[in-house]
Amino acid sequence: MKQLKFFFILLFFPVLLWGQNSLEGKMSPYTRHFLSMLKKSNDNPMSKERLEKSFVMRKEGNRIYVNAFVLLSKDADIEVLKSNEVQINTIANNIVTARIPVDVLETIASLPDVLRIDIGCPVKKKMDLARPLGNVDKVHQGVELEHGFKGKGVIVGIVDTGFEYGHINFYSPTEKSLRIKRVWDQNQSDGPLPDGFYYGAEYKTEKDILNAQYDLKDETHATHVTGIAAGSDYSGDYYGVAPESELALVAFSEVSRDNVSILDGVKYIFNYAEEENKPCVINLSLGSHTGPHDGSSMFDRVCDDLQGPGRILVGAAGNEGGTALHVSKYVHPTDTLKTFLSFPVGAKFGYIDFWGEPDQAYKIRLFVYNRNTRKMMFLSDDINASEENEVSYTLKNVNTDGAVGLIDIYTERNPLNNKTNAYIEAFFDVIGNGNYVGLFVMGDEGEVHGWIDGRGASFTDNYMPGWTIGDTDYTIGEIGGTGKRIITVGAYSSKDEFVNLSGTKKTSEHELCKIAGFSSLGPTSDGRMKPDVTAPGTVIISSFSDAVIDDSYYKGVMTQSIVVNNKSYYYGALQGTSMASPYITGVVATWLEANSSLTPEDVKSVLKKTSMKDEYTGNEENNIWGYGKIDAWKGLKEVINNFGTSISQADSPKDVILYQHWGTSGFSICFVNANTNVKISVFNTNGQIMYSSVLGNVSVAQEESIYLPFLNKGIYIVSVQGDKYNYISRVVL
């Protein structure tokens, strides 16, 4: 029997080695941590609790799924993934988003064409006086413009949670119809699936959208955000920045709150904009601090790829500008980074992510230190972060270990950016009196950056000389802040008081006109300026979902209720970069109305030229204010004058005048000067020809009226070509 057992081990030992080698570098530390916790959860109640708190999973039938980014080889056949019951959603070059059964996760990672799997990381949710501060009212009124701009013909997308779909703020005031044209609730398990996606439910008609009512009944974040960007309730002062835009909404919640689902939501909305042949801007008032903060994550790479002419993303910078959640140091063999972790009362846990420079090698070490005895009560091994390691420690006795809890450390050299990465999760039930948890980072010469994410956790030196204190630089979050093309928005204080429905006056601690104390700061870890711009973000009053009227917190910040057709609708005050971001989203929508082909780079160029500078922002761009405070009106004039004309202006007014027949599918062209061999063409924004007519010779003052009822509503390009002159303009049909 012993010989047989020995033979069995010999037979399988090479297989186990092959299996380990085939997975090396293929799964992120966070993914490997998930698999480890999943295996431990069957026997360890504490591990099961951490599993549910740290990771996003979804159970369907008897199987558990996780969302993931999958990096494939160039010639990979995705049918191989599908044959293993993997559901493919977004495809962007060689990166796909997928829902993978956890029981085949390692099998998928071992496939030759699979280069990398990153499972989704959890994300967090991050107008009366606000509009005039950014000169939005001038945009609406058309001051020094041919007409007002309110986002007509533009799709505003919102990926968020806490929608009341039927709020009065989302109706067209003139047509009395719902302006929400698409909803994808990612959490519904019954209902029609969106084309190309394998989860959630899609609502396409006004009836179905109104019947759905809400995505969640304990949240209003999304209703508030949508109202800021695009609310249209003119009965009061709280309508939004782009009140004539169309809305496409994606709802996520506790069962789909990861960055993979967010990316799918972005792709879904851009797909809809493509179908409708309309420009689109999407708001992401969401964030996370797991990742390299340099734009190299798979989320940032795909978002960069999805953006382009008429496809813009706007994101919140984050609300950690007042929390020292970042630490950094230029280390070398004789100079070590030494820092402590600080936990707020009642929340002794943290998700810690350290990144070095490309090709840099370093080691990391965790400890528990007693300040009174000046002795280490617990000291981990030196863990080489440039190699793939998985190390766990269980601290069982507060008297001998200094704390009771679990520490997990996962390391690798990330193949996407060649940076050394150490991901750490630390959960404590008890930390003894006078004891401090901390870490060392030591190694080759180079700069290391670390972030801690966990209900106010931070880095501190505990007033010990030679130790490194945390700071608020580099606190720009992943999702809304670190991509190379996304427009990242910080917040400044625009209002500091309000009166709630009970008549109680409430005040904000943020000083008017200054940067909000919570607004996260740049730069990114690769040195790019962030945020790009700032907008009003304190005490912003916008629509509230009626699902939260009995919530004690939300009830205290409600400011107004109105009754329409025997139904009550509510408004309330919130603050954060979550509120500043949709302000800019609405502004970009008005700019896209003027020029549907603006790129993210065009928008940043306009922001650089037109953002307001004052005594608070300083005269130079910086990592607090970006280019300055938004000036929507000045920016719109820059778009019209230097990036193309508004829809009813002529590029060559001396030769041709175009008259828009508003509310119809037609327009008229008046020829000021004669021309020969004239041809009129109409293109969609993708350059496809939709209509063509040869007029031949035209005379002075000749007028041609064109009606195109067969076209979908949207923005189109009108081209007039002739021997003597050419003309191009835009129309909304």
pLDDT digits (tens, 9 = 90+) for 310-330: 999 999 999 999 999 999 999
Mean pLDDT of the 467-482 span: 95
With contact defined as beta carbons under 8 Å apart, do 346 and 356 qualify?
no
Q: Quick one: the chain helix, strand, coil %, rounded to 5?
A: 20, 35, 40
Last residue of a domain, which of 396, 428, 460?
A: 460
pLDDT tops 50 at residue 650? no
pLDDT tops 60 at residue 58? yes
Both tokens assigned to 391: 């190390």
pLDDT, tens digit (0-9, with 9 covering 90-100), for 407-443: 999 999 999 999 999 999 999 999 999 999 999 999 9
* pLDDT number for residue 44: 66
CA 368 to chain centre: 36
With contact defined as beta carbons under 8 Å apart, do 117 and 108 qualify?
yes
CA distance 287 to 383: 29
Amino acid at 498: F
CA distance 157 to 226: 9
Q: Say what angle helices 600-610 and 632-642 make with each other, to 10 degrees.
A: 120
Confidence band of 95 (pLDDT split at 50, 70, 90):
very high
pLDDT tops 50 at residue 7? no
Q: Which of 6-15, 47-56, 66-75, 97-106 has the lowest mean pLDDT?
A: 6-15
* pLDDT number for residue 664: 73
CA distance 727 to 651: 6
- Note every long-range contact of 37-43, with CB atoms under 8 Å and residues 24 or more positions apart, other chains counting: 37/408, 38/102
With contact defined as beta carbons under 8 Å apart, do 426 and 395 qualify?
no
**Does some domain include residue 347?**
yes
Peptide bond between residue 531 and the one before it cis (omega within 30 degrees of 0): yes
**Burial class of residue 552, CB neighbours in 10 A (0-12, 13-18, 19+):** exposed
Both tokens assigned to 307: 């953006």
Same domain membership, residue 133 and residue 89: no
Same domain membership, residue 142 and residue 115: no
pLDDT tops 50 at residue 649? no
| Mean of all residue pLDDT scores within the chain | 88
Confidence band of 43 (pLDDT split at 50, 70, 90):
low
Same domain membership, residue 162 and residue 53: no
CA distance 648 to 342: 59
Both tokens assigned to 205: 């008609």
pLDDT, tens digit (0-9, with 9 covering 90-100), for 441-456: 999 999 999 999 867 7
Instruction: Name the percent of the chain lying above pLDDT 70.
Output: 91
With contact defined as beta carbons under 8 Å apart, do 287 and 316 qualify?
yes
**Does some domain include residue 245?**
yes
**Does some domain include residue 465?**
no
CA distance 327 to 329: 7
**Residue 61 vs residue 375, higher pLDDT:** 375
CA distance 603 to 412: 37
H/E element, 112: none
CA 611 to chain centre: 22
Q: Which of 248-262, 474-488, 612-626 has the lowest mean pLDDT?
A: 248-262
Q: Which of 247-251, 527-531, 667-671 has the lowest mean pLDDT?
A: 667-671
CATH code, domain with 555: 3.40.50.200
Closest CA to 547 of 231, 209, 218, 221: 218
CA distance 149 to 127: 18
pLDDT, tens digit (0-9, with 9 covering 90-100), for 130-147: 677 788 888 888 888 778
The upper half-sphere exposure of residue 290, i.e. CA atoms within 13 Å in the direction of its Cβ, equals: 24
Q: How far are the Cα atoms of 127, 289, 441 from residue 406, in angstroms, in the given order?
A: 46, 21, 20
With contact defined as beta carbons under 8 Å apart, do 729 and 720 qualify?
no
With contact defined as beta carbons under 8 Å apart, do 547 and 134 qualify?
no
Same domain membership, residue 335 and residue 254: no
Compute the CA torsion angle 258, 259, 264, 269 (nearest 10 deg): 110
CATH code, domain with 720: 2.60.40.3080
* pLDDT number for residue 22: 62
pLDDT tops 70 at residue 14? no
Last residue of a domain, which of 94, 119, 144?
A: 119
Q: Which of 237-251, 619-633, 638-652 has the lowest mean pLDDT?
A: 638-652
Q: What is the DSSP letter of 104?
A: G
Same domain membership, residue 537 and residue 680: no
Beta strands in 273-336 (DSSP E): 280-284, 286-288, 311-316, 326-331
H-assigned helices in 25-173: 29-40, 45-54, 78-83, 105-109, 130-133, 136-141
Both tokens assigned to 445: 């010469």
CA distance 666 to 659: 9
**Does some domain include residue 666?**
yes
* pLDDT number for residue 17: 31
- Note every long-range contact of 296-299, with CB atoms under 8 Å and residues 24 or more positions apart, other chains counting: 296/416, 296/417, 296/419, 296/526, 297/118, 297/416, 297/478, 297/482, 298/69, 298/71, 298/95, 298/116, 298/118, 298/416, 299/69, 299/259, 299/260, 299/262, 299/263, 299/478, 299/479, 299/483
* pLDDT number for residue 255: 62
Confidence band of 663 (pLDDT split at 50, 70, 90):
low
Amino acid at 654: K
H/E element, 426: strand 419-431
Same domain membership, residue 532 and residue 581: yes
**Residue 222 vs residue 346, higher pLDDT:** 222
pLDDT, tens digit (0-9, with 9 covering 90-100), for 369-416: 999 999 999 999 999 999 999 999 999 999 999 999 999 999 999 999
CB neighbours of 188 closer than 8 A, spacing ≥ 6? 200, 201
* pLDDT number for residue 467: 96
With contact defined as beta carbons under 8 Å apart, do 337 and 327 qualify?
yes
Q: Which of 42-56, 213-227, 275-289, 347-361 has the lowest mean pLDDT?
A: 42-56
Both tokens assigned to 427: 């959960």
Strands 458-460 and 419-431: unpaired
pLDDT, tens digit (0-9, with 9 covering 90-100), for 325-353: 999 999 999 999 999 999 887 768 889 99
pLDDT tops 90 at residue 295? yes
Same domain membership, residue 199 and residue 95: no
CA distance 133 to 159: 26
* pLDDT number for residue 487: 98
Confidence band of 48 (pLDDT split at 50, 70, 90):
low
Q: How far are the Cα atoms of 299, 519, 651 from residue 319, in angstroms, in the given order?
A: 20, 5, 44
pLDDT, tens digit (0-9, with 9 covering 90-100), for 609-633: 999 999 999 999 999 999 999 999 9
CA distance 38 to 55: 10
Beta partners for residue 326, in sequence order: 451, 471
Last residue of a domain, which of 55, 85, 119?
A: 119
Both tokens assigned to 93: 């070059």
* pLDDT number for residue 477: 94
CA distance 666 to 681: 13
Q: Is 682 helix (H, G, I), strand (E, B) or coil?
A: strand
Same domain membership, residue 670 and residue 609: no
Mean pLDDT of the 483-487 span: 97
pLDDT tops 70 at residue 644? no
Q: How many domains does the chain have?
A: 4
CATH code, domain with 412: 2.60.120.1290
Strands 114-119 and 124-125: unpaired
Same domain membership, residue 377 and residue 242: no
CA distance 272 to 267: 9
Same domain membership, residue 484 and residue 431: no
**Does some domain include residue 636?**
yes
Mean pLDDT of the 464-492 span: 95
What is the domain extent for residue 425?
A: 326-460
With contact defined as beta carbons under 8 Å apart, do 558 and 499 qualify?
no
Strands 311-316 and 487-492: parallel
Amino acid at 265: G
Mean pLDDT of the 234-244 span: 91
Q: Is 495 helix (H, G, I), strand (E, B) or coil?
A: coil
**Does some domain include residue 279?**
yes
**Does some domain include residue 360?**
yes
**Does some domain include residue 467?**
no
With contact defined as beta carbons under 8 Å apart, do 182 and 204 qualify?
yes
pLDDT tops 70 at residue 603? yes
Same domain membership, residue 413 and residue 497: no
Closest CA to 610 of 643, 646, 582, 650: 643
pLDDT tops 50 at residue 651? no
Same domain membership, residue 144 and residue 6: no
H/E element, 612: none
